[in-house]
């Protein structure tokens, strides 16, 4: 166990104007922002690096589970959101590509069972059901957090890209690692938190081994209008090329679409005009919510689940997609990132209280150990569900797998735990 060097303070400015030695977060995406807010709420001064204000992601939404909601609520993010920003999900339905008379007749489904909290309000009400999840626009969430970051006295924003990492800063030896900024400054850091996404440059610079699984799938994302209302249902259908998910939005006829398919199909559908896209979508949904009448632009995301084998190194910790970019089929990537942040904040707070160096290997290894079970389970479960239910009826039948397995209580329970984000109860 190393104790902090008493000659160095968290605010010391060496080698780079106004940049202290304390905690440095690389990446101002959803994860970096939430980490900055969480650590600042615990009283840590933090620096955050993002080359420029990230392009606002107008198309994407994030589904957050109750644990993530509770955390955002505690940080004050929920209260900072516009009133209708969070669309509650009251039912989850999962179905397959078998021909069914009623496509809304799910293979698996869950509904809320008890009363609970409403937005920004800690009082229990008898009438408001506890949603299973909430859907929020990434743009709205980023905007609210940006506002809070600007207002925070403990968070310093730097419009800088970080290009490198060294395990030791030459002026401090073991007492600080170093970040290299795009303007070639060497920034000393007690602790570096890399939240720089799936292709993390910091992970690469630190030589942390990663495992990627490219199964040739792409997810098309859009916001679509259907003739029938969503009735707060989050709906997912496993098709041969990958799952299609429709998440409810504030407008009762609007859905957030995440449709995974083979790369070839995605190229074809990204190029298709709206009418041809609507025909393909209606076919894929089996008209579960009627016909598609309108849509926003489309965006394509390569589905390449990637995770770091061990997400820590000398004075460095990876969080969010930099540590584990999981298959988007269950909408759990950001929920895992928030759980990373919660654990890290708790451990750093305890270390500070006990006078232990917050960047010591002992603390970081404990963090990695604490996160490993949930991250591994969610990674395996999402990869497993994708393999089980996608990739062609023929192959599944040959292997004797697929939705027949969905009748097994174990698979149902796994799918429910993945969908609700409760792979392990926290």
Ligand X SMILES: Cc1cc2nc3c(=O)[nH]c(=O)nc-3n(C[C@H](O)[C@H](O)[C@H](O)COP(=O)(O)OP(=O)(O)OC[C@H]3O[C@@H](n4cnc5c(N)ncnc54)[C@H](O)[C@@H]3O)c2cc1C
Give min distance, CB of 255 to ligand X, in A.
13
- CB of 336 or CB of 351, closer to ligand X: 336
- CB of 203 or CB of 396, closer to ligand X: 203
CB 243 within 8 Å of CB 390: yes
- CB of 41 or CB of 304, closer to ligand X: 304
Give min distance, CB of 100 to ligand X, in A.
25
Give long-range contacts, CB 8 A cutoff, 24+ apart: 154-157.
154/40, 154/43, 154/44, 154/45, 154/46, 155/36, 155/37, 155/40, 155/45, 155/46, 155/47, 155/48, 156/18, 156/19, 156/45, 156/46, 156/47, 156/48, 157/28, 157/48, 157/50
Report the alpha-carbon distance of residue 274 to residue 328 in Å, rounded: 24
Give min distance, CB of 354 to ligand X, in A.
29
As a 3-state breakdown, the chain gives helix, strand, coil percent values, each rounded to 5, of: 35, 25, 40
- Cα-based distances in Å from 383 to 175, 211, 357: 39, 13, 37
CB 291 within 8 Å of CB 168: no
Give min distance, CB of 102 to ligand X, in A.
26
Give min distance, CB of 201 to ligand X, in A.
4
- CB of 162 or CB of 261, closer to ligand X: 162
- CB of 27 or CB of 359, closer to ligand X: 27
Give min distance, CB of 358 to ligand X, in A.
21
Report the alpha-carbon distance of residue 390 to residue 380 in Å, rounded: 15
- CB of 49 or CB of 277, closer to ligand X: 49
- CB of 65 or CB of 360, closer to ligand X: 65
The residue behind tokens 């800088």 is 160
CB 119 within 8 Å of CB 86: yes
Q: What are the phi and psi torsion angles at 332 (to 5°)?
A: -120, 0
Rg (CA), the chain: 22
- CB of 232 or CB of 335, closer to ligand X: 335
- CB of 67 or CB of 287, closer to ligand X: 67
Residues that bind ligand X (CB under 6 A): 26-32, 49-51, 54, 62-63, 161-162, 195-198, 201, 219, 221, 258, 301, 320-321, 328, 331-335, 337
Give min distance, CB of 104 to ligand X, in A.
21
Give min distance, CB of 307 to ligand X, in A.
12
Give min distance, CB of 355 to ligand X, in A.
31
Q: What are the phi and psi torsion angles at 87 (to 5°)?
A: -95, 120
Q: Using CB atoms, what's the residue nearest to ligand X?
A: 29
Q: What are the phi and psi torsion angles at 254 (to 5°)?
A: -100, 140
- Of 111, 66, 107, the closest CA to residue 422 belongs to 66
CB 130 within 8 Å of CB 88: no
- CB of 362 or CB of 426, closer to ligand X: 426
Give min distance, CB of 99 to ligand X, in A.
28
Beta bridge partners, 301, equal 219
333-353 helix and 66-74 helix, angle to the nearest 10 degrees: 50
Give min distance, CB of 258 to ligand X, in A.
5
- CB of 50 or CB of 223, closer to ligand X: 50
CB 405 within 8 Å of CB 411: yes
């Amino acid at each position: 166990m190393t104790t902090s060097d008493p000659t160095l303070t968290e605010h010391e400015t060496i080698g780079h104007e106004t940049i202290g030695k304390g905690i440095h977060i690389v990446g101002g995406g959803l994860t970096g922002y939430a980490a900055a807010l969480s650590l600042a709420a615990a009283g840590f001064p933090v620096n955050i690096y993002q080359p420029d204000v990230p392009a606002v992601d107008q198309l994407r939404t994030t589904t957050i589970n109750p644990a993530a909601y509770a955390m955002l609520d505690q940080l004050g993010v929920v209260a900072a959101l516009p009133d209708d920003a969070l669309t509650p999900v009251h039912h989850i339905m999962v179905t397959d590509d078998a021909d069914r008379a009623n496509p809304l007749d799910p293979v698996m489904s869950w509904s809320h069972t008890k009363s609970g909290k409403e937005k920004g309000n800690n009082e229990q009400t008898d009438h408001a059901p506890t949603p299973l999840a909430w859907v929020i626009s990434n743009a709205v969430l980023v905007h609210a957090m940006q506002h809070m970051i600007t207002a925070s006295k403990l968070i310093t924003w730097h419009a800088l890209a970080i290009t490198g990492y060294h395990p030791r800063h030459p002026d401090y030896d073991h007492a600080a690692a170093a970040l290299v900024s795009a303007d070639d400054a060497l920034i000393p850091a007690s602790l570096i938190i890399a939240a720089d996404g799936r292709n993390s440059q910091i992970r690469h610079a630190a030589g942390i081994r990663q495992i990627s699984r490219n199964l040739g799938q792409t997810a098309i994302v859009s916001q679509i209008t259907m003739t029938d209302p969503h009735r707060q249902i989050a709906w997912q259908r496993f098709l041969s090329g990958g799952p299609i998910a429709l998440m409810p939005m504030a407008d009762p006829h609007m859905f957030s679409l995440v449709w995974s398919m083979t790369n070839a199909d995605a190229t074809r559908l990204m190029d298709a005009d709206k009418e041809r896209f609507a025909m393909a979508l209606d076919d894929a949904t089996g008209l579960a919510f009627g016909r598609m009448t309108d849509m926003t632009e489309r965006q394509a995301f390569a589905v390449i689940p990637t995770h770091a084998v061990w997400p820590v190194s000398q004075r460095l910790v990876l969080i969010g997609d930099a540590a584990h970019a999981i298959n988007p089929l269950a909408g759990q990537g950001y929920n895992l990132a928030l759980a990373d942040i919660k654990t890290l904040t708790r451990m750093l707070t305890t270390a500070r209280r006990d006078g232990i160096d917050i960047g010591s290997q002992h603390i970081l290894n404990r963090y990695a150990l604490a996160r490993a079970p949930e991250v591994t389970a969610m990674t395996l479960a999402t990869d497993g569900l994708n393999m089980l239910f996608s990739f062609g009826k023929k192959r599944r039948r040959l292997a004797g797998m697929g939705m027949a397995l969905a009748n097994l209580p174990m698979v149902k329970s796994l799918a429910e735990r993945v969908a609700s984000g409760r792979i392990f109860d926290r």
